[in-house]
Structure 1
């Protein structure tokens, strides 16, 4: 529970004594403290919030502008942020606009909609440095070892698909005030397991409380980052070229599939997800010097193949043709059985497969190298000039592959929220765009202020 947020929402509509009593009651729900101590805590939070509100009466208009959030009046949940669908992709494009507004340069930045970013370091020999960061799956807060294991695989995948060799892992841990310290250790052990399996060291990190004193409970959130290097330019999505062949490895999922298994009672599927096949396949390509010949690589994660295919087509302008019968083979059998049983679209969830877009002349080389690493791989489609991603169904009909508003619902609560696009989505996008524009304007004002001070 966010007690500061609780006070901020109510302080202007509730008298202070009533607010103090309400908050003290909430505090005792989480903490084993007496009534007097809970009221002291409540008074402290209320007083601190009241102090921050005094800025509204300040004569410092610029400070007020910096402090005030350029609101979109659209919540994360309503926009579907983090749900790997059309709403999420739109917000990520706005984030990319803010990043691109900075007067800096990189070889691959968020505007490419790749999960990893790349900078070129000019030394005696060109070196391409890739960085990526991923957050723990929100529903794995109570399963920190699994959360740590899968988020580490996720960030390493993002480095691998840019054609880089992982050289370092970073970990950032946030546990709420009432959380048991053992959660931190359990999560770190999950990260360390992957670190040891692929011989890539954990080099840095941080450990903090979620919201400091202001958040009660034991919610666990974290992120893991990674760094990779390559002597070749990145295999970003924009490299896809008409005439290329699309290959995909068998995927058994990560955080999303683990969450699906745990919250739907398919516990045996959890074991399918505990593997490093993706990284083994990537390393095989790297060690056999095939990276330089691959046009594009991606991991099938963001809203499943529907999302990734849409993003590739949007960024490059090419068309993609996929074959339904071949795609089903790319999902590990036990995982596919679970998804079919639960009526979850395999094309709408993260399966953690490695998708490769390669010129026809190296298809056999890539296939042989990956299979020699013990990983199954299949030819699933091709790149063309038709500008849209399409699914050739087993009955011969053709469907346009488009991301849903949210990724395929894989838990009961997600099914309740639904996958359909809101009727006012275009209005929502306009509001989000305005908030992003105002954030850029604020950034520019602050930069001007700091430069003028000098």
Structure 2
């Protein structure tokens, strides 16, 4: 069977990846499973939070992307990453200027987030069309939550809006397809909205958060599905309540993609104790972060989407990200 672009389907992850974990360790307190953003190792005092992510679908801003996405995953624990390692694979014929731009943007992003890059590996690799950067972020924490802690009766809240990362990535291609210059200019600035570190930290500090998960590949709907799987609980989501920025709607309309299935780093899903929604809103408001109630967790293991037309749709799997659909039909990535 030929596999689709993007993440492996959950059934293949369970069969070939998540069970292949080497030696057992009693210090591993959060082991790999579908929907979780990080692993957790017990230390003598506290916990080590670890998460890795690759950036494979873009060429521009890849350095900043690589830092932010791993920092986001660690942040969903309620803690800020302090350290990071990187693996940088460069295509043949890369020049010194490209290397400098990539690594300087990584350094700038890490400094902004308070992260120290402690090492890694960099090489020129045959067969690549563009740079691939993989980062691993680390945090030392006293406590944490994960995507697997949601409880029946919790409210599902979402920060910012859908498809933030994808909006920025696709802005250039949208321009070629006829999007207005104003839309393209504003969409390109969505790269600056990609971090959820402040979102997660602010929400976690309220003490009313049971689980968090960031909206990456597969968009909001993919993240909702993964959160339900990780927590082994049902979710009902009102599609009409999911915030979508006007720039995202415009870019997606031009390209014929679904903003709810578009890669969405920058938005955070939060399982909030029922009745404490206003506390979370009040905590994030001074940070300039919007947060919206979009659904509720309930007994069972079904993820249901209430669509705007009144139909209810059952999500049985994480959707393929819309970014890959555009990549197959247009040369959106340029070096």
Q: TM-score range by the shorter chain?
A: 0.7 to 0.9
2:174–2:251 Cα contact (<8 Å) kept: no
SS in 2 for 1:194: helix
Where do residues 321-340 of structure 1 align in structure 2 (5 Å cutoff)?
321-327=236-242, 329=243, 331-340=244-253
Deviations 1:339-359, CA, capped at 9 Å, x for gaps: 133221122122221000011
Distance 2:213 2:169 in 1: 22
Determine the structure 1 residue equivalent to 2:36. 114
CA drift at 1:367: 1.2
Out of 125, 132, 139, the residue aligned to residue 228 of structure 1 is 139
2:36–2:148 Cα contact (<8 Å) kept: no
1:247 and 2:247 equivalent?
no
TM-score normalised over the length of structure 2? 0.86
Determine the structure 2 residue equivalent to 1:189. 104
Where do residues 13-412 of structure 1 align in structure 2 (5 Å cutoff)?
74=1, 78-80=2-4, 82-84=5-7, 87-93=8-14, 94-99=16-21, 102-105=23-26, 106-123=28-45, 127-140=46-59, 143=60, 146-210=61-125, 215=126, 219-232=130-143, 234-251=144-161, 253=163, 256-265=166-175, 267-268=184-185, 269-275=187-193, 278-286=196-204, 289-290=205-206, 292-327=207-242, 329=243, 331-352=244-265, 353-403=267-317, 406-409=320-323, 411-412=325-326
Distance 2:283 2:232 in 1: 30
Distance 1:154 1:137 in 2: 12
Distance 1:359 1:257 in 2: 31
Unaligned stretches of 5+ in structure 1?
A: 1-73, 417-454
Change in CA separation of 1:259 and 1:226 when aligned onto 2, cut-off 3 Å: same
Higher helix share: 1
CA drift at 1:250: 0.9
| Structure with bigger gyration radius | 1
Moved more, 271-280 or 240-249: 271-280
Distance 1:186 1:89 in 2: 36
Question: How many residues matched?
Answer: 319
SS in 2 for 1:173: strand
SS in 1 for 2:322: coil
TM-score normalised over the length of structure 1? 0.65
1:306–1:402 Cα contact (<8 Å) kept: no
Higher relative contact order (CA 8 A, sep 6+): 2
SS in 2 for 1:360: coil
SS in 1 for 2:217: coil
1:112–1:237 Cα contact (<8 Å) kept: no
Determine the structure 1 residue equivalent to 2:333. none
Distance 2:128 2:13 in 1: 30
SS in 2 for 1:166: coil
SS in 2 for 1:110: coil
CA RMSD of aligned residues (A): 2.4
CA drift at 1:168: 1.4
Deviations 1:160-194, CA, capped at 9 Å, x for gaps: 00122211122221213421122221111221222
CA drift at 1:255: 5.0
Distance 1:116 1:200 in 2: 17
Change in CA separation of 1:180 and 1:274 when aligned onto 2, cut-off 3 Å: same
SS in 2 for 1:79: coil
Change in CA separation of 1:392 and 1:217 when aligned onto 2, cut-off 3 Å: closer
2:163–2:220 Cα contact (<8 Å) kept: no
Distance 2:34 2:304 in 1: 21
